[in-house]
Structure 1
């Protein structure tokens, strides 16, 4: 059974979520000590985290960054904050998805199921090969790391999924809808701006290792990755 770590300070909401999700054969552990979230995370080693933003002491963005420093475990934010900026901040701080309160339990379960399937199930990256190499540029599949020459960049889950798609279909245009479906399964449940944020962050990380202008915007169509580093 997949383990979910639920970081929610409203006991009623936490209890309802736990009861609902356990019907779908998830094991749900509710946070006990809000000043020791990272310690509880390490002890549980969950498959997924549901994270509120407004928490005692430090907010969910802080704890998401702490988890990201040690793990690529998928994190879904659940919050009453419904502004676009909060959703952007959630993605920028390492979150994988964002659900606003009040929420539909079926939507929460569908998003969890989609992420679990993508990361651990039938859509998970094949373990037959450990890396993809293109003219000296290497994408490590298990470490989720991009490397060119002597420089390397650690990728978030979303950045890795995007870069893997681009390298698999080099020089081919991938539509925004297709990329959103890869990241969040149903593009209607997420602000389209979050894709732009992830693309911008991925471009910056590639630039930091010497790969410039490789992910290009194709106006009205989507994005494509071209080999700009080998001179071909």
Structure 2
């Protein structure tokens, strides 16, 4: 696969859970790579690490607006976002990542249906209950970034809706108030041990299984 920088949607420094586009460069290394991803937030950093991306672009736009949140739950919006009339501009892989917010099965089914029939190879995943649950799953990464041994009161994916988000916000305010929240999230995504996150977060483990065929 080509490792050249793709022509495509403009990148944004503060995109979070968008329909993200990346090009994959096969690597002989057996361990997960951690390339620098300066174009997006924590989710793009994590996905780039998983995919050994040679180039990563996000977020996509729908009618001029950043595609995020509830926009990614719509069949027509996703079909439009993930369709490239010019095959030269089409990425090797599109990744759609949304929060469950208590509707994991419903949202996964809707995403899977929206991806049917697309030309681009695509993977859709639902973070339970939210992406922040994956960010706080590795205690060693949390300790390294926040300089304090911290852990959630129960396995991250068993926390209720918004609990992981609010817990991470609380930890950040108490132990790293001088740092930008977006930067803390990126650091957690960069430093977390992916095998450990998969061990304690079944939805993340399923996400990995879905990505492995695309990694080649």
Structure whose CA Rg is larger? 1
Which structure has the higher relative contact order (CA within 8 Å, separation 6+)? 2
TM-score normalised by L of structure 1:
0.31
The answer to which structure has the higher helix fraction is 2
TM-score normalised by L of structure 2:
0.32
